[in-house]
Amino acid sequence: MSHAYGPAADKKEMTELLSEAVDKGYTFFDTAEVYGTPENPHDNEELLGEALKPYRDRIVLASKCGIRFDEASDTVNKPLIPDGRPETVKTSIDGSLRRLQTDHLDLYYIHRIDRKVPIEETAGAMKELIEAGKITHWGISEADEDTLLRAHAVCPVTAVQNRYSMMYRDYEALFPVLEELNIGFVAFSPLANGLLSAKYNKDSKFEAGTDYRSAMPQFTADAFDKNAELIRYLKETADKKDATPAQISLAWMLAKKPWIVPIPGTRKYGRLIENAQAADVELTDEEVKAIDHMLDTDYIDFYLHKFYL
């Protein structure tokens, strides 16, 4: 709503959409202190703070700290500079609480791992925030197993938020340790930045400068050709289930593990409803295995790009 998908959306419209989300049963809202614009770097926290204040006792609110943009770069998706120092964590939470108009966060992530700061120090700062009542739980975004285990030993981790979708399954290797430690997996970009909605094609245009998809390799004409088989399969599966490709993508993820929570984003009421109804699409174990087999064997362009949030 505020960052990476074109200019920041109209606040009045988004406030109404967030209210409708709560009315439709959405309970988990995800933001970060860096989701904003050059003019207003904290736009999204301010938006959610005002819009969700009436519903605070009905929702789970999550935010993140520990990164800033490399403003010296002239790229659309500016490189991230991680900062996991305890003093940064402790300062950031106060700003987020003020903007989100709440006295605590239900879940607070370190947004990226700072390899210059031992994760034990970052975890220790999070433990202090829990003891102070400023956060209830903490998590890590883009964590590997070693970092997760070291952090968890200092202060139990509640959630790992990593990229996960049909097009990016690397972190399935983490599932056994997450299950063992009772840690939830929050999947960001579960629709591969919208690609798995099957609403885009090689002629789709994205605003340069504010929409990261204008620089993402999976939205190039060549990538659409390479991923045509995946999109075709998704559409066929959706037709059989009286669903949409986006709903199949989310239902597949929900069927994987009961502790996986996808967080698709939208600015449109229709997509809000479509995403929610994915929870009603049931896939059997055999159907999930068939999709996995397709993903393992067919012609899919498993992309990697340097920047994502």
Asked if pLDDT for residue 278 goes beyond 50, the answer is: yes
Residue 35 appears among annotated catalytic residues: yes
Asked if pLDDT for residue 125 goes beyond 70, the answer is: yes
Q: Which of 35, 164, 171, 212 is catalytic?
A: 35
What pLDDT shows up at residue 308? 45
Alpha carbon 177 to its chain centroid, in Å, reads: 20
Asked if pLDDT for residue 85 goes beyond 80, the answer is: yes
The two three-digit tokens of residue 231, written as one number: 């999109």
pLDDT in tens, 19-59: 999 999 999 999 999 999 888 999 999 999 999 999 999 99
Backbone angles phi, psi at 132, to 5 degrees: -80, -5
What pLDDT shows up at residue 300? 55
User: What beta strand segments (E) does the chain contain?
Assistant: 28-30, 60-65, 67-69, 80-82, 105-110, 135-141, 159-163, 184-188, 260-262
Arithmetic mean of pLDDT, 160-165: 96
Verdict on whether the full-model pTM lies above 0.75: yes
DSSP state of 211: B
Q: From residue 34, how far is each of 11, 68, 69, 104, 292 by CA, in Å?
A: 17, 7, 8, 18, 34
What pLDDT shows up at residue 216? 87
The two three-digit tokens of residue 25, written as one number: 């049963």
Residue type, 229: E
Alpha carbon 275 to its chain centroid, in Å, reads: 14
The region of weakest confidence among 174-178, 216-220, 231-235, 271-275 is 216-220
Residue 70 burial class via C-beta count within 10 angstroms: exposed 0-12, middle 13-18, buried 19 and up: exposed
Buried b (16+ CB within 10 A) or exposed e, 119-136: beebbebbebbbeeebbe
| 217 or 182, higher pLDDT | 182
